Amino acid sequence: MKRRAWERLVDEGWVATRSDAERWVLLRKVYADGAPVTSAGQLLDRSAALEMHGLDARYIAKGGYKLEGALDAFGLDITGRVALDAGASTGGFTDCLIKRGCRRVYAVDVGFGQLHGTLRANPAVVNLERTNIGDPVLWTLEPAPTLGTVDLSYLSLRKGVPAFAKALRGRGDLLCLVKPLFEIEDARARRDGVIPVGAYEPLLHGLCEALSNPDSAIRGVTHSPVTGNGGTVEFFLWITLGQEADGLAPDILSEAIARAVDAGLSLAPYKKQ
């Protein structure tokens, strides 16, 4: 007797839901008797040996590796924290936050149906779909988040961070992924998707200056250990909110930016395993 591929994947515990099974099949990660499964509805013999490639990965998406690198670089212990992950998508950051000890994570995204099934089923994760970072509902969350992770597309951090500060009620830590293509003012670079090597340091200096004020301070700058789509170099800013926050001294900040750019430019483009 034969069964559909997604039914076997769910029933045999490989994945939690049909949608998860469909995603793994689309990624060409599912094999039956050594041959790739081409459709989640493909009929398989019950005796066919199933394999799923990539299950040894620590995180469900590459964003987890990006955030892991930032937490390690900044030496930030987030055990027991309540976090808000904006731009959660499939949940790479959310997955990392949970695995690094957060007791609750609000996974916020304007999209719908993107969060990985294992995270949707996790009682420590609150799935806030179809929610914009500026939505007032985030201002009244209980327990209130004290940690924010930011991975926004098509929106500069200059606009995103002030909205995020409201969700954290003006206090806490932000770990912001810097995507240079959404920060650079050079129209040609934005159009072509190519950032001139000499533009990274001025871009980071300008961004840090724009986000530094009496209520927020730049505590750290580092490179993302994983490149973005197309091999783009990305960075992280650690921002602490609150009037008592002390930022890096100008000379220390300049050194941190220079080191981050050098390290980022030395990375090989990320490839899925």
Ordered domains of the chain (ranges, CATH): 2-52 (3.10.290.10), 63-265 (3.40.50.150)
Cα 54 to Cα 272: distance, rounded to the nearest angstrom: 9
Does residue 102 contact residue 76 with C-beta atoms inside 8 Å? no
Helix, strand, or coil (residue 212): coil
Long-range contacts of 108-111 (CB under 8 A, 24+ apart): 108/84, 108/133, 108/138
pLDDT at 174: 97
pLDDT at 32: 87
Distance from the Cα of residue 158 to its chain's centroid = 18
pLDDT at 270: 64
pLDDT at 10: 79
pLDDT at 269: 73
pLDDT at 154: 80
Does residue 91 contact residue 196 with C-beta atoms inside 8 Å? no
Which among 133, 128, 138, 148 has a CA at the least distance from the CA of 67?
Answer: 148
pLDDT at 58: 80
Pairing of the two strands 43-45 and 82-86: unpaired
Cα 172 to Cα 77: distance, rounded to the nearest angstrom: 13
Cα 173 to Cα 76: distance, rounded to the nearest angstrom: 10
For each successive 10 residues of the chain (273 residues), what is the average pLDDT? 86 74 85 89 85 74 91 96 94 94 96 86 94 93 96 88 91 95 81 85 96 93 88 93 86 97 87 52
pLDDT at 16: 67
pLDDT at 30: 87
pLDDT at 150: 92
Cα 272 to Cα 256: distance, rounded to the nearest angstrom: 29
Helical H segments across the chain, by residue range: 5-11, 18-26, 63-74, 92-99, 117-120, 157-167, 187-192, 200-211, 250-265
Cα 37 to Cα 50: distance, rounded to the nearest angstrom: 9
Query: Quick one: DSSP state of residue 145?
Result: P
pLDDT at 56: 57
Length of the chain: 273
Helical H segments across 101-244, by residue range: 117-120, 157-167, 187-192, 200-211
Cα 177 to Cα 189: distance, rounded to the nearest angstrom: 19
